[in-house]
Amino acid sequence: MSTGVRSLVLGPEGSLYAGGSFTTAGDVVANHVAQWDGRRWHPLSTGMSGSDYSGVYSLVVGPDGFLYAGGEFITAGGTAANRIARWDGASWHSLGSGMDGPVSALVFGPNGHLYAGGNFSNAGGVEVNHVARWDGASWHPLGSGMNGWVASMVFGPDASLYVGGSFGNAGGIAVGHVARWDGISWHPLGCRYRWQCLGSVHGSRRPALCRRLFHHRRRNGGQSYCLLGWHVVVPSGYWRVWLCECPGSRH
């Protein structure tokens, strides 16, 4: 390749597909995506284009046997796609109206739906906030999404979607850059803060006594709370005393 490769996937026919920032593969003009048949490289139509950097970040083969590509491109094979597209072996197709920002991760779920993550806010005109689901006809949000870039996704044996990236919140819950989607709501992996206050803090100048807890979800499905410290919360800030740590964590 002329430059970097970001994603590789094997097709059902045994070919290797590559996506990245390259514009040539072997001696063939490929424009960010190419197929290796075991002997030589082949372009997939005219490849991707339409932006200053039209790279392909993620490739996945669906249960339909087609290749799906996500990245920072605007067109795929001359077709308006907006950062995500499907290759049927002969031509590229859009998935709705696509995304308004780069797609960096793709994965198919056990339900046969495609899940996409990246640095986008909208998918198909729907507000999704960095992660979305394609059911074959339209895009759907996963709760209220994330507050930062989604870089990686995988489905677990529990059929939950696990997501990692530069976000701190998922569905409005503090998660610390990794979270689990159970099909209905987002959950943290490990510990997260929980506040309990005696008296009102907001809208008042009076100090309030609060305790800061860590929510700990155990592998066996149980959960517990670890008291991290008592705090006196005042308009200008708070002081704290560290009392203990959440099991298995360092703070």
Per-residue pLDDT of the chain (251 residues; tens, 9 = 90+): 989 999 999 999 999 999 999 999 999 999 999 999 999 999 999 999 988 788 999 999 999 999 999 999 999 999 999 999 999 999 999 999 999 999 999 999 999 999 999 999 999 999 999 999 999 999 999 999 999 999 999 999 999 999 999 998 899 888 888 999 999 999 888 654 454 555 544 444 444 455 555 444 444 444 444 444 444 444 434 333 333 333 333 33
Report CA-CA distances (Å) from 215 to 54, 60, 187, 204, 246.
42, 35, 11, 27, 8
pLDDT at 237: 41
pLDDT at 210: 53
**Phi, psi (deg, nearest 5) at residue 82:** 55, 60
CB 211 within 8 A of CB 184: no
pLDDT at 188: 85
pLDDT at 197: 52
105 bridge partner residues: 117
Query: Residue 129: enclosing H or E segment and its boundaries?
Result: none
Q: What angle do CA 14, 17, 20 make, to 5 degrees?
A: 165
pLDDT at 53: 83
pLDDT at 38: 92
pLDDT at 211: 53
CB 104 within 8 A of CB 84: no
CA distance 137 to 167: 28
Beta sheet of 48-49, edge-to-edge order? 48-49, 75-76, 79-80
Beta sheet of 208-217, edge-to-edge order? 191-198, 208-217, 223-234, 237-242
For residue 212, the number of C-alpha atoms closer than 13 Å in the C-beta half-sphere is 19
pLDDT at 69: 98
Query: Residue 243: enclosing H or E segment and its boundaries?
Result: none
CA distance 150 to 178: 9
E strand segments, 109-236 = 114-118, 122-123, 126-127, 131-134, 139-141, 150-155, 161-165, 169-170, 173-174, 178-181, 186-188, 191-198, 208-217, 223-234
